Amino acid sequence: MATITKSTGKEPLFHIVRRTDMPIWKSWLIRILSVLASLIVCAVIIVLVTGDNPIQIYATMFKGSFGSPRRFWALLQGIAMLLCVSLALTPAFKMRFWNIGGEGQVLMGGLGATACMILFGNKLPAPVVLLLVIVVSILCGAIWGLIPAVFKAFWNTNETLFTLMMNYIAIQIVSYFTYIWSSNKGNNVINTINNDTHAGWLELPSSVDKYGYMLNVLIVAALTIMMYFYLKYSKQGYEISVVGESENTAKYAGINVKKVIIRTMIISGALCGVAGMLLVSGTDHTINPDTAGGRGFTAIMVSWLAKFNPLFMVVTSLLIVFMQKGAIEISTQFGLNSSFSDIITGIIIFFIIGSEFFINYKIQKRAKEVEA
Amino acid sequence: MVAAFIHRAIMQGIPLLFGATGEIVTEKSGNLNLGIPGVMYVGGISGVIGAFLYENSLADKSQANGFLAIMIPMLCCLLGSLIMGLIYSFLTTTLRANQNVTGLAITTFGVGLGNFFGGSLIKIVGADVPSITLSVTSKFFSASLPFASNLGWFGEIFLSYGFLAYLAIIIAIVTSLYLKKTRSGLNLRAVGENPATADAAGINVTRYKYVSTCVGSMIAGLGGLYYVMDYANGIWSNNAFGDRGWLAIALVIFTVWKPNFAIIGSIIFGGLYIVHNYLNQFFPFIPVDMSTQELIKMAPYVITVLVLIVNSMRRKRESQPPEALGLSYFREDR
């Protein structure tokens, strides 16, 4: 053996092996270090672009999120919405079903809510409208998740590409209805729906909830805890993990894989529908093709970075929303384009993605060959 | 009028063709690069930055040198998209990160980069111009054969494009031949179908993945360059490129991973993208308003989904995605 490797003389100097023995504290230390490293790189870039000193800049970023009670609530709302979509995608990812159609499922949920608010707003009593909003938006999201799942379960259609395409179909459907329902024909804007009656609005009295974000935050907090227990302690959650680990194992164990795939995607889509409802009925009270705001995609990264653990997702979505809000604050202050926040998000994610390598693998130097 | 429609459809299709060819090359190595939309943005903005710096360095804009005006933006574009391809390859192939997450991060990053420099380039460089309008360099990109306009419909359909359009078609044909007829193309397909087998056969999996992803990114980046320098006449406006990157990925599925089909496919998709402007002229009796336009723009995605479904139902071996698409390869994982 030694002679063969010596004769080719091209054996690489390093050797990569998978490792499974890293203690949890150490793996989180690596992740935290990678976040810190990414923040340093971001700081360098921000300084290069703005020419201000980095501490000043991070102070500005803090101001963007904590500067006033309104901003703080906006931060919480941002976290809640991103977290809600991440929670929705997580069961699918755990099953190794790459649902990158969150954007479309959120939009369809939002569209369902919009439709109920517009069509029944003046015809039915407000509590009935709200009930309809909730049911229809969840149903719309679930259907949008169900379609790719059925084809995956029965014909093994590639779900990544399928759900991706469903996003753009949803965007165009929403564009269509934005035009149909636009307040002034042709301007493609739906004004605040039911502004006078608040029919179908999901809200707390303004004496309790000054900025209108509290109910969303509470609902998502409850969902987070429910999802944690669902995935960790329920039978269905266990089935999801088994299917994700190995479909064959699941089959031998008597799990109906098709049923699990379809059921999980209904849950995933329905939760995206909830996110759409919270955005439309809980916050914006209107819809446009950008209502989901790329959360369907960002949520994939949030969920993955948190290792599909709902409680860690609170932290990862906090990090991403905080950086986005901070970067937007910097760009307004220095008159730069607000897409700056996307660059920052991208860099942080690159670093965290990269750090996973050092958690899952170790690099060994090649042992010296013994001279024959 | 039909000729004008086909002309516009081809103009619309060329960026998609670049993107789809690039993505096919990438996907054949088993890398599902969902970062292509971002790569195309970066390709576009890198070209714009190059052209902008070149134009601003000229004292007299009428003195622009055609060779430099083309080569500088083009090299910047290739370099920019190469860097994006390298980031993707490094993360997914060397560090074995998840391809979907990495790709989407590349898209977020690339689109952000494009819009950021598009919106702030003038401020950063400190130039004294109101907007990014690269009419001088753009003229060299969109220059077609001088006698094309004398040849009527024939000239309009076949000869009236800038050189990048012909380059797109040549690249698609060459790629198709490369994948089908050469030993190295066969190796590349083997890597995408089953990297473990390819590895056992002595093919350097890592090298194939790196090279094909980087070359694919560079091809896709040219799509962004074509869009801004030729199609948009050198005027960069943020988000104008829109969802074309995703359409390019849809086109890959639509053409069942075959670059030569992508030539026709890109024209069909391009036509669907703009057909709403022509419906009134072709069929005056059908009422078309803005809302129908949105539904027609849905067509490419719906068709793509149908193709995806039909192919998965028919289970024909030739029309399946590469077997190992989206999976990282680690030699010791068996």
The full 3-state SS of A347-358, as one line of letters, equals HHHHHHHHHHHH
The answer to whether residue A332 is domain-embedded is: no
- How many whole angstroms from its chain centre is CA B301? 17
pLDDT, tens digit, 9 for 90 and up, residues A87-105: 999 999 999 898 999 999 9
User: CA A153, CA A303: separation in Å to the nearest integer?
Assistant: 23
Q: Tell me which chain A residues have a C-beta less than 8 angstroms from the C-beta of B313.
A: 155
CA separation for the pair A181, A297 (Å, rounded): 27
Q: Is residue A238 part of a domain?
A: yes
List CB contacts (< 8 A) between A157 and chain B: 308-309, 312
| B70 vs B75: CA distance, rounded Å | 9
CB contacts of B302 in chain A (<8 Å) are: 169
Residue A329 within any structural domain of the chain: no
Q: What is this structure's pTM? A: 0.88
Domains along chain B? 2-319 (1.10.3470)
CB pairs below 8 Å between A and B: how many? 166
Phi, psi angle pair for A365, to nearest 5°: -75, 145
Structure tokens at B70: 């083309």
**Separation in Å, CA of A372 to nearest CA in chain B:** 27
Q: How confident is the model at residue A261 (pLDDT cuts 50, 70, 90)?
A: very high
Q: Is the pLDDT of residue A356 over 90?
A: no
Residue B145 corresponds to which tokens in the numbers above?
A: 């054969």
Radius of gyration, alpha carbons of chain B: 20
How many Cα atoms within 13 Å fall on the side-chain side of residue B112? 21
Residue numbers in B near A189 (CB within 8 A) = none
H or E element that contains A365: strand A361-365
**Measured distance CA(A204)–CA(A208) in Å, rounded:** 7
The two most distant CA atoms of chain A are separated, in Å, by: 92
pLDDT score at B86: 95
Under the banding of pLDDT at 50, 70 and 90, the label for residue A329 is confident
Contact A321, A368 (CB under 8 A): no
What does the radius of gyration of chain A's CA atoms come to, in whole angstroms?
A: 24
- The separation between the first and the last C-alpha atoms of chain B, rounded to the nearest angstrom, is 60
Query: What is the separation of C-alpha A271 from the centre of its chain, rounded to a whole number of angstroms?
Result: 12
Residue A40 CB-half CA count within 13 A: 7
The answer to whether the CB atoms of A336 and B246 lie below 8 A apart is no
Q: What ipTM was reported for this prediction?
A: 0.86
How many CB atoms within 10 Å of residue A159? 23
Q: Give residue B293's pLDDT.
A: 78
| Residue of B239, B232, B174, B248 lying closest to B13 (CA atoms) | B248
| % chain B with pLDDT above 70 | 96
A35 is a domain residue? no
- Whether A2 is in a domain gets the answer no
Does residue A369 have a pLDDT over 90? no
* A28, part of any domain: no
Domain residues for A215? 77-319
What value does the mean pLDDT of chain B take? 87
Confidence of residue A4 (pLDDT cuts 50, 70, 90): very low
CA distance A182 to A189: 5
Number of domains in chain A: 1
d(CA B13, CA B264): 9
Give the number of residues written for chain A: 372
Q: Is residue A358 part of a domain?
A: no
Residue A246 is given by DSSP the state -
pLDDT at position B138 is 83
Nearest CB neighbour to A301, from listed B105, B113, B118: B105
Tell me if A262 is assigned to some domain.
yes
**CB distance B123–A336 less than 8 Å?**
yes
- List, for residues B242-281, the tens digit of each pLDDT value: 888 998 998 998 898 999 999 999 999 999 888 877 777 7
User: Per-residue pLDDT for A1 more than 70?
Assistant: no
